[in-house]
Structure 1
């Protein structure tokens, strides 16, 4: 596969009937859900869980999505969903890049960028990243240039 960056975290997604819209291809909402699923799977693999987020009353929440839909996926397709952490300022902001490739023909179906900010979960207010987030996410940083 031709990935945008080296060493992706990959979560395989099998397209089921529930992902299909009235045009008979994957609905954009399913893609957004898969972005979240892939992000959480990667965070979990790095050792960060929702329970830890809740325990310290901190979270990384989406401030912006940029999604490029390049080709349609259909029922039965198998897609490798890759993510990389491409920016982490160790203060407030984190950026992930994504690339979804259909395994059957190696076609890139989607690229995306999601920007996150750290918040206090109980208030929703932006706050400085705890050391746990800053250290874990910056250690997983992928150099993009």
Structure 2
């Protein structure tokens, strides 16, 4: 299992009307992390297209633990937890860099 991490700085545009990171941002970050992780492993979008392959999301789940606020630096991690011939389960973990408190745990089921 190869764990991919990336730093995210919470910008004003990430903040919702409750003054914390919008849940829509987490879904976008999950997609971005998956693409970046896959690219680092040699499977970028261009390679999938050239090979006539691709993945489609079947399900997202997110459990929010603590709010993320403007200016927070978040460490986001992702890895493929299960891989089958036509489906994979990708997990995610988001934590605040300053105090290492877990902000959210998530998963995506991808189908081919």
Q: TM-score, normalised by structure 2?
A: 0.96
Q: Which runs of 5+ in 1 are unaligned?
A: 1-5, 119-145
For residues 15 and 61 of structure 2, the distance between their equivalents in structure 1, rounded to whole angstroms, comes to 22
- Equivalent pairs counted in the alignment come to 112
CA contact (8 A) 1:11 1:41 kept: no
Aligned-pair Cα RMSD in Å: 1.1
Equivalent residue in structure 2 for 1:101, among 83, 95, 104: 95
Larger radius of gyration between Structure 1 and Structure 2: 1
Aligned position for 2:66: 71
Is the partner of 1:29 in helix, strand or coil? Answer: helix
1:62–1:116 CA contact under 8 A, matched in 2: yes
Instruction: Using structure 1 for the length normalisation, give the TM-score.
Output: 0.74
Distance 2:9 2:56 in 1: 26
Q: Post-superposition shift, 1:7?
A: 5.7
Higher relative contact order (CA 8 A, sep 6+): 2
1:78-105 CA distance string (max 9 Å, x none): 000001111001x101111110010011
